[in-house]
Amino acid sequence: MKLVFCVNRELGLHRELTDYLAQAPGGVGDMTDLGGENWTALEREIDNDAATELAEDVHMRFKDTPVEWSMVANDSRKKKLLISDMDSTVIGQECIDELADFAGKKAEVSEITERAMRGELDFDGALTTRVKMLAGLSTDVLQACFDERIHLNPGARTLVRTMASNGARCLLVSGGFTFFTSRVAAAAGFHADSANTLIIADDKLTGEVQKPILGRQAKLDALNTACADIGCTVQDAIAMGDGANDLAMIEAAGLGIAYRAKPVVSEKADAAIKGASLEPALFFQGYRETQFVRD
């Protein structure tokens, strides 16, 4: 196993992390510095017998700090498949909430979104209810919403482009809408995307979504299908998301990452990213910052 730490270099925590790793119970051999200009990123081999207890100590020690960390297996470390949620993961917004703002219903819709992402509501029913509230919106609003409201999260493009340049297949799967996933996928560099389709008539949203709805099971199916297509196992995949809808694929993948996630997700993921940047997902796979593909 490898214990990996990373934190923004300007926060000045290099010495604290170095000292912790040097004294870590079960530590084997020297530590490796994966960081560069922007990141302090350190890793060290940990004896398997000590890994569980050490992970608990790391969690308690660093849970209220900006330090990102993961305990990762050495096998199949650099993943061959990235499968990621879109809303509040690759982008910083929930597209349906932003669309609802154009309809004057953001408060009502965002409340349902939050409950669904916490796993308190059935996803299919929650999506159907929210889409009904968008009935009558002009299709022009879709492009306006994308142009004015939707932004990639920091590190999203770097994560996708770096993995793609190293031969990984990168897929965007969302319980949101194809209008947005197609554009976000192109902006970030994903190879393909899948999501739900809004039904349109006379250049207006009808308030309906095409069935079947892409939800939790469909995301897991997408993971399994993609692995079969490229000839790898789920252990060769990294799955990333923030809500209950993402939990099945996160639990199934070799590296499941909860990104600024609801507790129901972060408690069961292999790693959790607390900060805004998605770049720690590369360090968890053993990439050095000098290998990152940045614009």
Active-site choice (19, 47, 85, 101): 85
Look up tokens 């990235």; give the residue. 82
Q: Is 85 a catalytic residue?
A: yes
Distance CA 212, CA 85 (A): 18
Q: Which CA distances in Å does 25 have to 13, 28, 29, 44?
A: 20, 9, 12, 11
Distance CA 244, CA 263 (A): 9
Classify residue 10 by its DSSP letter: G
How is residue 31 written in tokens? 């530590």
Active-site choice (30, 47, 75, 87): 87
- DSSP for 213-272 reads P--HHHHHHHHHHHHHHHT--GGGEEEEESSGGGHHHHHHSSEEEEES--HHHHTTSSEE
Nearest CA among 141, 145, 127 for reference residue 204: 141
Cα dihedral 7→276→263→125 (10° resolution): -160
Q: Is 295 a catalytic residue?
A: no
Distance CA 266, CA 119 (A): 13
**Cβ(213)–Cβ(127) under 8 Å?**
yes
**Catalytic sites, residue numbers:** 85, 87
